[in-house]
Amino acid sequence: MSTEIRPFQMEIAAADLDDLNDRLDRARWPRQLPGEGWSLGVPVAYLQELAGYWRNMYDWRRHEARLNAFPQFMTEIDGQDIHFLHVRSVEPGALPLILVHGWPNSFVEFGDLIGRLTSPRAHGGDPAEAFHVVVPSVPGFGFSAPPGGTGWTAARVARIGAKLMRRLGYERYGAQGGDFGAYVAPEMAKVAPDHVVGVYVVGGLGFPIEKDLPEMTEAERAAYTRLMEQDWMNGVDHHALLRAAPQTFTYGWHDSPVAALAWMTQKFHEFNASGRPLEQVIDRDLFLTNVSLYWFTGTFGTSAWPYYDSTGFGWPEGQTAAPTGVYSGPPGIRRLAERHNIILHWPENNPAGHHFIAMDQPDHLAADIRAFFAKVR
């Protein structure tokens, strides 16, 4: 097995850009179905305007160059080609930190967060709290090779992450994750307990389920009711959809940029808990860069494996091998989270926002990551 680490740069062919534009020009738009707002899905007028912006105003080359400014690499681990960013801090004593993205996102999620972690001095932070940042693309996402078979789990991805950190020469490091990363990061502490000093997740720990109701207080039950009413709990059940027939849906997402854009817009809209329109929460170009990455790499189907290779949905449970911190405790309940975690950091007043908080609140997230890891360095 090769242990070589190869420099990598994104270079999307001009023909692929032309093909995308041609498909957008030839889009076959449906009629608007009856119903108010988003009640039946992404409104036609909304998507037409967004697709028009993607076609005529969005500049992939500018964002490709911005992302290529981060040092990127490829290496083979367990037979998988793994793409990753490795951005070292200039600050002495910086703590290595691996950031694990989720679905339907990519390493693009952390573009505005990385500099705030590697160079806190430039963002009003304490230089003693700097990080060397490693951002792998999860297998099947972006430029990482897709899994060649079934049997993949968060633990298996965690083992790849631990081997990557070891290959980079890091013996002591932190792990951070949101969405699927909130499952992977705790597993890294389990597979490398002597190396992971702390695990930080965006949220999801201590979320109550129906069987917890009898022991919950009145206030906790009210919080549970609010949780169950959220859009992201009641929208399109992508867990069930991607378990049932991912190959079938992939044809549309892979062949039609409008279908792909509609799917991404639907999920990012549902994942928005800020109370503000999506375009006011996540920069439109940032959102389209993530969509474009999925389109150019053809990974709408290959990134679905965490769902089709699972048997059902369950909230992240966590681990006890290393201390845990979260960006937001609520709507999780701390005493429930402490059944499976050593909770060291449980803020209840961090700004709420989008599920992908790194794209919405990078300053607050970076400050909170620094606050947690200052306790375990």
Q: Which residues are the active-site residues?
A: 179, 307, 355
Which residues lie below 8 Å from residue 62, measured CB to CB, with a gap of 6+? none
Length of the chain (residues): 377
Q: How many degrees, rounded to 5, is the angle at CA 128 between CA 123 and CA 134? A: 75
Contact between residue 303 and residue 141 where contact means Cβ atoms under 8 Å apart:
yes
Helix axis angle, 257-270 to 14-25, nearest 10°: 80
Distance CA 171, CA 152 (A): 25
Instruction: Go through 3-26 and write b for each residue having 16 or more CB atoms within 10 A of its CB, e for each that does not.
Output: eebeebebebeeeeeeebeebbee
| Amino acid at site 334 | R
Distance CA 199, CA 321 (A): 9
Which residues lie below 8 Å from residue 93, measured CB to CB, with a gap of 6+? 128, 130
